[in-house]
Amino acid sequence: MTKKLKKLVRQITRGTAEPAQSLTKPNMDKVVSTGSTLLDLAISGGVRRRGGLPGGIILEIYGPESTGKTAVLSEIAGSVQSKGGDVSFKDPEARLDKRYAEIYGVSLDPDDYSRPNTVSELFNEIENWEPNTDPEERKICAIIADSLAALTTDLEMSDGGDSYGMRRAKEFSEGLRKTCRIIADNNWIIACSNQERQGPSGTTTSGGKGVPYYASIRIRLTRLYPAGRVEKKKKIGKKEIKKIIGIASVAEVKKSSVDDPFRQAVIYIIFGYGIDDIRGNLQWYKEVTGSKKYNCVDANWATIDKAITYIEDNRLEDKLKAMVIKKWHEIEKGFRLKRKKKKR
């Protein structure tokens, strides 16, 4: 007997079948992290103190190349697994290898990893997925798709072709219409990446209008300007050498049915490490307070590298995060509308 059938039998026997969760009001009791405190707050800090991604939603992360889309998806996967949830990787671009996954604390299970070629293959796999968790616990599980732009259709692969992508757009719309109910009922997250394309009407994303329509949250990543690279300087002999060790990107919540849209967060992605939450928190706190030094909870440092080392050596990561969350809410409070209740 499958897990889904067992769950249905239990519900019928007990008379406790639960209604589907609202697609526009996801359950905020349980959330997972993006790996960035500030991005978590940008997503849902107005409804939950620490922010984060709720279950029962479709998340689209899109933007130009090399802005960290795969890194954010991998951080989400690592967070889901750390909280006891299951993750299924859909990797049509064949980018995710064991070494890259280990950076984010992700365990790659061969049974939960596939490389679908077409849109219909992707949605068939989603519909037939059975996470290795107890349905009664309603732990957040995630399907990671990286990226939608790499998926094709049977028509496009045939001689007839699909040069305008109309069949692909239709298959995305059909698949999402069915899938949004499945993920809401099961408290799953579908987190997918997408690419920007220049079309006749301006910048668009692959897959037509279906993905933007059904996504509860859409986040656009762009390179931070002008400082889009993270540099490290080191003196070797008498010469100072510079090396690019990572990138800095701006994440903007372009659409949200969870909280206020259009919030932004800067994320720092270090090669071989992942999202550097300590760096992001230190830099943000310094900028919003106008300080000349980095506030390390109980000490101040002039350089970011020394500040990061101090935080890690003294295990102050949680206190730094709490300090940032408190300041973020103080700032957010200042923008709340103070008006009388609307007269009907």
Question: What per-residue confidence (pLDDT) applies to 238?
Answer: 85
**For residues 178 and 18, what is the distance between their CA atoms, to the nearest angstrom?**
19
Question: What per-residue confidence (pLDDT) applies to 30?
Answer: 87
Q: Is the pLDDT of residue 11 over 70?
A: no
* % of the chain with per-residue pLDDT over 70: 88
Residue ranges of domains in the chain: 20-222+249-265, 276-334
Per-residue pLDDT tens over the stretch 304-325: 999 999 999 999 999 999 999 9
Report the candidate in 340, 328, 260, 311 with the shortest Cα–Cα distance to residue 50: 328
Report the candidate in 84, 79, 90, 96 with the shortest Cα–Cα distance to residue 37: 79
Window from 110-114, 267-271, 330-334 with minimum mean pLDDT:
110-114
Of 125-134, 152-161, 243-252, highest mean pLDDT: 243-252
The residue ranges of DSSP E strands in the chain, in sequence order, are: 31-32, 53-54, 57-63, 87-90, 113-114, 141-145, 188-199, 202-205, 217-223, 229-236, 239-256, 264-270, 274-275, 294-295, 300-301
SS3 call for 129: coil
CB 326 within 8 A of CB 50: no
DSSP 34-57: -S-HHHHHHHHTTTSTT--EESSE
Q: Is the pLDDT of residue 33 over 90?
A: yes
**For residues 83 and 72, what is the distance between their CA atoms, to the nearest angstrom?**
17
CB 115 within 8 A of CB 92: yes
Question: What per-residue confidence (pLDDT) applies to 18?
Answer: 41
Q: Is 37 left (phi over 0), alpha (psi -120 to 50) or beta?
A: alpha
DSSP 147-192: -GGG-B-HHHHSSS--TT-HHHHHHHHHHHHHHHHHHHHHTEEEEE
Residue 113 Cα distances to 8, 176, 222, angstroms: 27, 20, 28
DSSP 8-state code for residue 114: E
Q: Is the pLDDT of residue 10 over 70?
A: no
Question: What per-residue confidence (pLDDT) applies to 272?
Answer: 94
Q: What does the pLDDT average to over 83-96?
A: 90
pLDDT band at 205 (very low <50, low <70, confident <90, very high): confident
Residue 2: both structure tokens together: 């499958």
Which residues, at least 6 apart from 268, have a Cβ–Cβ distance to it below 8 Å?
230, 246, 247, 248, 275, 276, 279, 280, 283
**For residues 216 and 314, what is the distance between their CA atoms, to the nearest angstrom?**
39
Q: What does the pLDDT average to over 130-139?
A: 88
Domain 20-222+249-265 has CATH 3.40.50.300: yes
Q: What is the mean pLDDT of the chain?
A: 88
Residue 25: is it exposed, middle or buried by C-beta count within 10 angstroms (0-12/13-18/19+)? middle
Q: What does the pLDDT average to over 135-155?
A: 87
**For residues 324 and 317, what is the distance between their CA atoms, to the nearest angstrom?**
11
Reported pTM:
0.87
Q: Tally the residues of the chain.
A: 344
Question: What per-residue confidence (pLDDT) applies to 20?
Answer: 38
Question: What per-residue confidence (pLDDT) applies to 165?
Answer: 56
